[in-house]
Amino acid sequence: MTLDFGTTLGGAWFPTPIFTASGCASSGKELSQFFPLREIGAVVTKSIMLKPRAGRPTPRMAETPSGMLNSIGLQGPGIDAFLIEDIPWLASQGARIIVSIAGETAEEYAVLSRKLRGVSGISALEVNISCPNVENRGLVFACDPTSASEVIKSVRSIIGGDLPILAKLTPDVTNIVNIATAVMTSGADGLALINTVLGMVINTETMRPHLGGITGGLSGPAIRPIAVRAIYQVRQALPNVSILGMGGVTSGKDALELILAGASGVSIGTASFGDPSAVIRIQRELHQILQDKGFNSVREAVGHAHRD
Ligand code: RRO
């Protein structure tokens, strides 16, 4: 029997369950030298804001045990340039596209949604409400159920039923299920779990913080158990919610772990920095491991760890 490798996220269908992770492949141009983007589930673009943005001061990266810190600070060209350059280029590659958006206010998310509504070639929106690299932690909407809900409601009110909305959450909260429940009851169609974990490195030579932005988001294998835990907890509490999982996946076996916890799709981020073919390699490995374990479809494996 051949494996059904297709998956759905928030009602949108994708031919494979492997995606890029927002922020780790910009709009995919560099990765397209290593594999055809149309062969993966979708490209999830770097979170885009309304205006062009320079981001945080350098240095913006630090290597850490089994991972790395980033402090990019939402650098990007702004939505207008993105719509002119990136979307048509991705569409020309035959790639499916999940557009990630970020804003400083619920109104900004609404304006972004207005600009994206009706643009052809977009499969879903990832609403990033959990960027760790902002000046004020009070601006991390996903740390508070009321603020998180406000953003999702404002996006939904503009998008209507046109596109699935995935809310991207942070694990840096006391109870992620509370936040997940709040965004799902406010109109999200699914969740992206997890964003990076807030961390910090001090350079012992200079005896000062290493990153220009002082703190940064920790990614890579170091955070995989946190991702598995968050996905598992949310799936347990909300068994019908579709989850795009990410956090330290470097192999097909790692991707399977997130799927067993409850993810219907898996994004690959930090692994691509060391190995630009990681996404397509992990996709091949996952296909093989699902077959070896006797699954007939991805769907059958999703949340399998919860079954008696
Ligand atoms: O741009 C960033 O610094 C950034 C973002 Br928007 C995010 O969501 N997660 C992250 O680790 N870095």
Round to whole Å and give the CA distance between 91 and 225: 35
Residue 60 pLDDT greater than 90, yes or no: yes
Q: Name the closest-CA residue to atom 1, ligand 1.
A: 74
Residue 135 pLDDT greater than 90, yes or no: no
**Could you tell me if the CB of 169 is within 6 A of ligand 1?**
no
pLDDT for 139 equals 79
pLDDT band, residue 154 (cuts 50/70/90):
very high
**Could you tell me if the CB of 103 is within 6 A of ligand 1?**
no
For 61, the enclosing helix (H) or strand (E) is strand 61-64
Please tell me the pTM assigned to this model.
0.98
**Could you tell me if the CB of 132 is within 6 A of ligand 1?**
yes
pLDDT band, residue 83 (cuts 50/70/90):
very high
pLDDT for 19 equals 98
Exposure of 34 by Cβ count < 10 A (0-12 exposed, 13-18 middle, 19+ buried)? middle
pLDDT for 134 equals 87
Contacts of 181 (CB under 8 A, 6+ apart): 145, 237, 238
**Separation of CA 133 and ligand 1 centre (Å):** 6
**Could you tell me if the CB of 199 is within 6 A of ligand 1?**
no
Maximum separation of any 2 CA atoms in the chain, in Å: 60
pLDDT for 138 equals 73
Cα 208 to chain centroid, rounded: 31
Pocket test for ligand 1, best of 22, 44, 47, 226 (most atoms within 8 A of CB): 47
**Could you tell me if the CB of 149 is within 6 A of ligand 1?**
no
pLDDT for 285 equals 98
Pocket test for ligand 1, best of 130, 131, 134, 267 (most atoms within 8 A of CB): 131
**Could you tell me if the CB of 216 is within 6 A of ligand 1?**
no
**Could you tell me if the CB of 133 is within 6 A of ligand 1?**
yes
The DSSP-derived string for 7-47 is EEETTEEESSSEEEPTTSSTTSTTGGGTS-GGGSSBEEPPP
**Could you tell me if the CB of 272 is within 6 A of ligand 1?**
no
User: In terms of Cα–Cα distance, which of 135, 78, 120 is closest to 101?
Assistant: 78
Q: What is the pLDDT of residues 34-57, one digit of tens each?
A: 999 999 999 999 999 999 999 999
Residue 202 pLDDT greater than 90, yes or no: yes
Q: What is the pLDDT of residues 226-259, one digit of tens each?
A: 999 999 999 999 999 999 999 999 999 999 999 9
**Separation of CA 272 and ligand 1 centre (Å):** 16
Pocket test for ligand 1, best of 20, 58, 68, 70 (most atoms within 8 A of CB): 70
**Separation of CA 288 and ligand 1 centre (Å):** 32
Mean pLDDT for the chain? Answer: 97
3-class state of residue 269 by DSSP: coil
**Separation of CA 196 and ligand 1 centre (Å):** 7
Q: Which residues are catalytic?
A: 131
Residue 1 pLDDT greater than 80, yes or no: no
Q: Which atom of ligand 1 is nearest to the CA of 73?
A: 3
Is the peptide bond between 15 and the residue preceding it cis, with omega within 30 degrees of 0? no
